[in-house]
Structure 1
Amino acid sequence: MDDQTRRPTAAERARTLAYGVADGVLAAPGVPYAPVTAHITDEHGVPLLLMPAASPIAAALAGAGDDLTATLRLSDVAPVALPDRVRGRAWLHGWVSRLPEDEIRGAALTLSRLHPRPELLDLAAGDGDWTILAMDVAQIEVEDAWGSATLEPEEYALALPDPFVAIEAGILSHLDSAHRGELRGLLAGLPCAARATSVRPLGLDRHGLWLRCELPDGEAGAAAGEPLDLRVAFAEPVRDLAGLRCVYRRLFGAAVPRP
C-alpha cells in the first residue's frame, strides 16, 4: 500500500484539529488574544466558538459591524501526560461574526454534544453573559508530525475529521495504563525498543498509532532532550471502534509483551 494512503491527508488533519478537542485561541488585529471557552465545527467545518459576551473580541466585533478579521489558533495536545505534548497546530484565518438570534439555540445544542457545559444551557435559555461566534474560514494552515501545508477552504470543507477524534483521549489513556508492555512489543526488532526506558501512546487516527519512546541519556535524540516518536501503521484504514478492536487484537497478538 502506498505511504500516502496510510496517513491522513492535510485537509483531514486540519479538520481533525478544528473539530473541537484541540485548545483554541482567537486572535484579531488590535485585540488581546482570547482563549476560546469551547468550540466545535459543523458538518462543513465551520467553527462555532463559545465566548464570554464581555470579552474584548466580542466588544471589538460589536464595533466592527457584521464581521471581524480573525485567526483561530489551535494546539493539539496529547491526552497522555508526556513531555512536549503538543502534537500539531493549525491556524484558521477568516472572519468571525455573531450568530443570528434564531440560530443560537441550535448552535448551543451542537456545542453541547462535545462540551456539555452549563453555560450552553444558560445561553439556549437566553442568558446574556455568553455568545456564540461563527467563523467564515478563508485559509487554513496545519503543521504536525507529517509536515506543514496550506489549504484552501474548499478542500478543507470537503474533508472529514478522523472518526476517533472525540474518543482518542480515552483510548490512549487506557493503552497507557493497561497495555504498556504490548506497546513496547509492537516495536520488537527495532533497536530503540530494547533501549527505551518507556514506550507510551502519543496519538491515534484511523490509519495508525503514534508511540513515544523515551531513551536513556546519551542515546540518539535523548542527549538533546528529545524523545523518539515512531509510527505503527495499520494494514488498512479503520472506520469504527469495532474495527479498531480487531486491529488491536491482531497487533497485540503478534507482539511480544515486554516489561
Structure 2
Amino acid sequence: MPETAAPSREYDHDVPGGGPSVPPPLTDVEDAARRSPAEEARTIMSATTIGTLATLSEDGSPWASVVAFGLLVDGSPVLALSRLAEHGRNAAAEQRASIAVSGPVIGDPLDSARVTLAGRLVKPATATEVAAARAAYVAAVPAAPAFIDFTDFTTWVLKVERVRWVGGYGRMGSTTAEEYALAAPDPVAANVPRAVEHLNDDHADALLDMARNLGGHPDATHAHCTSADRYGLDLVVKTPRGTTISRLGFAQPITEPHGLRSATVELARRARA
C-alpha cells in the first residue's frame, strides 16, 4: 500500500492526554481589569534606558546593537548614534529600524515581559524638537553631556509605527502607535518587586483569604502573589483540585507610586468582610 503522508502541522503544542487540569472557580468572580498592551509597552519602556537597536546594513542584512535611549512625552525613543559605529552609519543610510526592550527578569527570562517598537528614525527638525530630544536623552543617560555634541553623533527619534508586547508565556498583544502614544506608564511599577515580596513573606494569610473569598476558590490551600499593577494582583492558587491562577482587581486604579499598600489593604478587608 502507498504510504500515507503525515498531516502538515503549524505548531507542536499538543499535549498527550490533554495535559494537567486547571480547576475553575467554584463561585462567581468579578472581572478584574488588566493593563492594555499599550500600557504594558509604555511601562516597560519607562522602566529602563537600555535596549537592542536593529538597523539595516548597506547590503540589507540586519544589525543588532545595544544602545541607550531616552523617551519623549509620547513614548518615542530618542537615540544619540555615532557614525563611527555601524548602527550610526546604518541609520544615516536607511531609517527603518526597531528597538527591543526587556522588563525586569524574574525567574525564567522567557516568561518575563518585553516590547518591540518598529518605525523610522527621524532627525528633530525644529529648535523646539531638538531641545526636547536632547533633554530627554540627557535625562536618561547621565554620561550624555560628555559626547552628545560631538560632530560624529546624530540625535535620532524613532517614530513608532508598530508595537508588539509579550508578557511571558501565553500573554502578548499588539497595539497601534496612536494607542501607545496616549497610554501612561504604570505609576506603581518600580515598587512592585518589593511589594510582592512583602505580601508573600508577611501576609500569606491575607492572600489565602483573597483567593478563597474573592478569587472563587474557597477550597484553596495556598496562594502566592506573582505580580501586581495599578489595577490588581495576580495569584497562583493551590487547591485539592489542582493549581490555577487568579486575578484580583483593586476597588479603584492606583494613580500614585506609593498606592499599592492602601489598595492591597482594602483588598484584604473585602476578602475578610
TM range (shorter): 0.5 to 0.7
Of residues 35, 48, 51, the one that matches 1:21 is: 48
Q: Any conservation in 2 of the 1:162–1:205 contact (CA below 8 Å)? A: yes
Distance 1:27 1:45 in 2: 18
For normalisation by structure 1, the TM-score amounts to 0.68
Distance 1:89 1:136 in 2: 19
Q: Any conservation in 1 of the 2:124–2:156 contact (CA below 8 Å)? A: yes
Aligned residues: 234
User: 1:178-193 alignment to 2 at 5 Å?
Assistant: 179=203, 182-188=206-212, 190=217, 193=220
Where structure 1 has 5 or more consecutive residues not aligned to the other structure, the ranges are 222-227
1:68 counterpart = 2:109:
no
Query: By how many angstroms is 1:8 displaced?
Result: 2.1
Q: Which residue of 2 aligns with 1:225?
A: none
- Residues 253 and 33 of structure 1: CA distance in aligned 2, closer, same or farther (over 3 Å): same
Query: By how many angstroms is 1:207 displaced?
Result: 0.7
Letter in 2 for 1:233: G
Distance 1:17 1:6 in 2: 18
Q: Which residue of 2 aligns with 1:95?
A: 120
Letter in 1 for 2:43: T
1:154 counterpart = 2:170:
no
- Residues 133 and 127 of structure 1: CA distance in aligned 2, closer, same or farther (over 3 Å): same
Where structure 2 has 5 or more consecutive residues not aligned to the other structure, the ranges are 1-28
Query: By how many angstroms is 1:73 displaced?
Result: 1.7
Letter in 2 for 1:154: E
Q: Any conservation in 2 of the 1:22–1:77 contact (CA below 8 Å)? A: no
Query: By how many angstroms is 1:147 displaced?
Result: 4.2
Q: Any conservation in 1 of the 2:225–2:236 contact (CA below 8 Å)? A: yes
- Residues 241 and 94 of structure 1: CA distance in aligned 2, closer, same or farther (over 3 Å): closer
Secondary structure of 1:186 counterpart? helix
Secondary structure of 1:240 counterpart? coil
- Residues 20 and 96 of structure 1: CA distance in aligned 2, closer, same or farther (over 3 Å): farther
Distance 1:232 1:22 in 2: 31
Q: Any conservation in 1 of the 2:191–2:257 contact (CA below 8 Å)? A: no
Identity of aligned residues (%): 25
- Residues 177 and 160 of structure 1: CA distance in aligned 2, closer, same or farther (over 3 Å): same
RMSD: 4.0
Structure number with larger C-alpha Rg: 2
Secondary structure of 2:112 counterpart? strand
